[in-house]
Structures are given as C-alpha cells and as structure tokens.
C-alpha cells in the first residue's frame, strides 16, 4: 500500500513538472494563476538541480533531469 501511495505521489510530481514545462512555452511570463501554482509547486525540486548543473546558456535542462529521475523512481516502484 505504501508503494502505491508513493507511486501516485511520484506520478503527480511528474505531471506537475511536465505541466510546468508546457506552461513555460504558453505563458513564459508566469502571469496566470496556474503558472504561478506550477512554479511554486515544482521550484523546490528543480532549484537544487539547476544549481548543481553547469550553465548551458538559455537552455535549462534541470526540469528535464527531474522528469527523468522521477520517471526512473516511478518505474522502480511499479
């Protein structure tokens, strides 16, 4: 049962990060309420990864790396 709950939480986090990536293309100024929610919900996970990765100019791969790690955790739990 704990494995199922953790799997659901990881899946929800994965969807939130994916939503953040998608909304950044649609609303890059983060003005909408949904954009601000996604930013505040996912920034605690993404910010440490962003600080650890080397700068790559205008591309931010931290969200992608978080998605990959969450996907691996999700698959390990299933």
Whether 57 has a pLDDT exceeding 90, the answer reads no
φ, ψ of residue 60 to 5 degrees: the values are -115, 105
Confidence (pLDDT) at 2: 82
pTM for the whole thing? 0.85
Confidence (pLDDT) at 17: 95
The predicted-structure confidence for 15-56, as pLDDT tens digits, reads as follows 999 999 999 889 888 899 999 999 999 999 999 999 998 888
Tell me the C-alpha distance between 66 and 39, whole Å.
14
Domain coordinates in residue numbering, the chain:
14-51+60-77
Tell me the C-alpha distance between 7 and 16, whole Å.
14
Tell me the C-alpha distance between 49 and 21, whole Å.
15
Q: What angle do CA 24, 56, 69 make, to 5 degrees?
A: 65
């Amino acid at each position: 049962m704990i494995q199922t709950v953790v799997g659901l939480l990881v899946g929800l986090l994965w969807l939130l990060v994916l939503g953040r990536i998608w909304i950044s293309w649609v609303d890059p100024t983060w003005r909408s309420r949904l954009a601000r929610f996604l930013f505040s919900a996912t920034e605690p996970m993404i910010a440490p990864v962003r600080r650890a990765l080397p700068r790559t100019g205008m591309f931010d791969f931290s969200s992608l790396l978080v998605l990959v790690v969450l996907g691996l955790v999700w698959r390990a739990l299933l």
